[in-house]
Structure 1
Amino acid sequence: MASDDNHTDSSNYGYIPTEAWCIAFIVLFSVSALVHSYQAFRSKYWIIYPTLILGALVEILGWSGRLWSSRNVLLLTPFLMQISTLIMAPVFFSAYDYVVLGMAINKLGPQYSLLQPKYYFATFITADVISLILQAIGGGKASSSAAEGAPTQSATNIMVAGIIFQLISMAVFLILGVDFIIRANSEKAYSFRLKQIENKAIKRKQKEANGDSEKATRRSSDHTLTHTESDETVIGGGQQSILKKETQNDLEAQHISEHNEHLHIRNWWILLAGVLFSSTMILIRGIYRSIELVQGWDGYLITTEMYQNILDGLMMLLAVGIYNFIHPYYLLPRKTSWKGYH
């Protein structure tokens, strides 16, 4: 219960946040954000800035609020600051997971995915925005009620609704992701997706044929003339040797190309492993937060610091930190421009 506009009679946490934990998380999230900034700049994957980096900055803000509270636990402002920021930060990390899965599906085979790749980003980002709005509204009302010493249950319920909505969308995302991985690995495509892809290809070819009919006719004439001339060419012994050498070079180039393609596909699977890992960390954290808020502001989970440090702080550090090691900068071909998010 607030005794004035910015102070309370006792700790809102039920404990005093440990300064060492707060500093550790501030430092680690800062290091991850700085490394991501460098990696994003070098690789030109701009999508990392509004997702992983922004999320890490929000985490830093939240843990800074807890650090502030560790030095004056009766202050209301840092308590509200850390509640609102740490609840919302995972939305930014999950957004990046959606992007990477969509990119992987485009490369490894859209026929193995229940949804079209473009729908992953649009659908789940929309779900995240809805979740973020609910959590922001609930957090704002909770802050206002706490500052006035009024009941916060209705505001808490709104926050819980936002977190549960995010939890469900992440669970659906994980199910779709695992389904894609299993089908792609066993090469079991969805028949309706194959039909969609086939129809799209037919329409594209028809459009190209209608637009380029005149050029196609010209190319056909040129090809006939060239073919006639080549039939009249006599290849001598020296020319045969050159042709043999060129054929050997072509085979070697094809072998190198196939090897590089194999490595490229393998790297996409590594990225997908990162998506599953990061998404699982977010899911675990969402389950914890939902139970915590349902128990109320004086419940067992919210008043026990270790749960916050491990099931929120550590989970989110792993969710963003995994991409410092499993990163498009190391695994995918370099982008030559900032255009596009992949």
Structure 2
Amino acid sequence: MQSANILIIVACLVGAVRAASDNSTVGVEAPTIVSIVFKYDPNKAAAIAAGVLYSVASLCLFTRLFMNKAWWGLHLPIASTLMSVGLFMRIPMATNPNSLSIFLVQAFFTLLPPAAYLAFNYILYRRFFVNCVDRRYSWIKPEKAIRCIVISDIATASIQGAGGGLEASTNTTSAKLGADIVLVGLILQTVSFAFFMILVVHVWHGINRDGLLFRKEPWRKILWILMFSSTAYMIRYIYRVIEFGQGNDGYLIT
């Protein structure tokens, strides 16, 4: 999944560099890489605040995992740490908007961690059935369900990567086709994750149906975590679909 996301990031960077170079003859007012990709100037105060919040979250997660020796979840605080670094990199990027090296670092560090967050939910879902409840509560065998979702994520991310490559083209028709392909990939990815949410809701319904004392079970928080975080991910997916659907001049992206 991460390799496919790298393709998307590289495609965006290529498109930004091409656009910046195409406009370099305009003069001192030529748009920068940052202005072309972001459509706004990064705010230093916001970058510091967000970076600090992610750093605090990373510290809490590292502490919790080491105390419980839960090494299987180590990629979660590592991803949060990378995200905080990426956000802090927006501080020098604000004063060096044409620095490709700074832009590339912040892009990789902010766009890749979400893949690890999703992976954590998938692993948590599988371990929930291994350690907490009977496997019969899963609509589909946990291993098979997660395998299908991961394959779907890789496929849809690859579609987005292919579309991103076309979108970076200087040909208007190819660029428009690329944007449409990226949008299709995003929609399919959203549908794929919606299937995962259905699996989680099915587990929730089955446990309640069998009359388990939900509030007294030590594992009840796991389902709350899965429901809450999955809902947050879905909001993000829907936002991105609308954002890409509106185009580069749309309300959300500007």
Q: What is the TM-score when the length of structure 2 is the normalising length?
A: 0.73
Label 1:2 to 1:123 Cα distance change in 2 as closer, same or farther (>3 A). same
- Please name the residue that 1:104 is paired with: 128
Match of 2:41 among 16, 27, 34: 16
- Please name the residue that 2:231 is paired with: 280
**Percent identity for Structure 1 against Structure 2:** 31
Match of 2:80 among 31, 56, 59: 56
Label 1:87 to 1:163 Cα distance change in 2 as closer, same or farther (>3 A). farther
Cα deviation for residue 24 of structure 1 reads 1.3
- Please name the residue that 1:297 is paired with: 248
Which whole-Å CA distance do the structure 2 matches of 1:140 and 1:42 have between them? 44
Amino acid at match of 1:56: S
RMSD of equivalent CA atoms: 3.3
Which whole-Å CA distance do the structure 1 matches of 2:22 and 2:222 have between them? 50
Label 1:84 to 1:49 Cα distance change in 2 as closer, same or farther (>3 A). same
Which whole-Å CA distance do the structure 2 matches of 1:4 and 1:288 have between them? 30
Which whole-Å CA distance do the structure 1 matches of 2:178 and 2:104 have between them? 13
- Please name the residue that 1:170 is paired with: 193
**1:308-327 matched pairs, under 5 angstroms:** none
1:183 lines up with 2:178 in the alignment: no
Which whole-Å CA distance do the structure 2 matches of 1:42 and 1:70 have between them? 38
Give the gaps of 5 or more residues in structure 1: 189-261, 304-342
Counterpart secondary structure, 1:120: helix
Cα deviation for residue 40 of structure 1 reads 2.3
- Please name the residue that 1:330 is paired with: none
Q: What is the TM-score when the length of structure 1 is the normalising length?
A: 0.56
Contact 1:91–1:128 (8 Å) recurs in 2: no
Give the gaps of 5 or more residues in structure 2: 1-18
Which whole-Å CA distance do the structure 2 matches of 1:162 and 1:60 have between them? 27
Give the structure with higher Rg (CA): 1
1:269 lines up with 2:216 in the alignment: no
Label 1:42 to 1:133 Cα distance change in 2 as closer, same or farther (>3 A). farther
Cα deviation for residue 174 of structure 1 reads 0.6
Which whole-Å CA distance do the structure 2 matches of 1:154 and 1:58 have between them? 32
Match of 1:127 among 152, 159, 165: 152
Contact 1:83–1:139 (8 Å) recurs in 2: no
Cα deviation for residue 4 of structure 1 reads 6.3
Which whole-Å CA distance do the structure 1 matches of 2:55 and 2:144 have between them? 32
Which stretch of the first structure deviates more once superposed, 32-41 or 16-25? 32-41
Amino acid at match of 1:105: F
Amino acid at match of 2:20: A
Label 1:41 to 1:19 Cα distance change in 2 as closer, same or farther (>3 A). same
1:35 lines up with 2:53 in the alignment: no
- Please name the residue that 2:94 is paired with: 70
Label 1:166 to 1:89 Cα distance change in 2 as closer, same or farther (>3 A). farther
Counterpart secondary structure, 2:51: helix
- Please name the residue that 1:89 is paired with: 113
> How many residues end up aligned between the 2 structures?
225
- Please name the residue that 1:328 is paired with: none
Give a deviation string over 1:221-274, Cα, whole Å, max 9, x none: xxxxxxxxxxxxxxxxxxxxxxxxxxxxxxxxxxxxxxxxx8997221111101
- Please name the residue that 1:306 is paired with: none
Cα deviation for residue 84 of structure 1 reads 5.8
**1:240-279 matched pairs, under 5 angstroms:** 266-279=217-230
Label 1:281 to 1:102 Cα distance change in 2 as closer, same or farther (>3 A). same
Cα deviation for residue 187 of structure 1 reads 1.5
Counterpart secondary structure, 1:114: coil
Cα deviation for residue 85 of structure 1 reads 5.2
Cα deviation for residue 141 of structure 1 reads 6.0
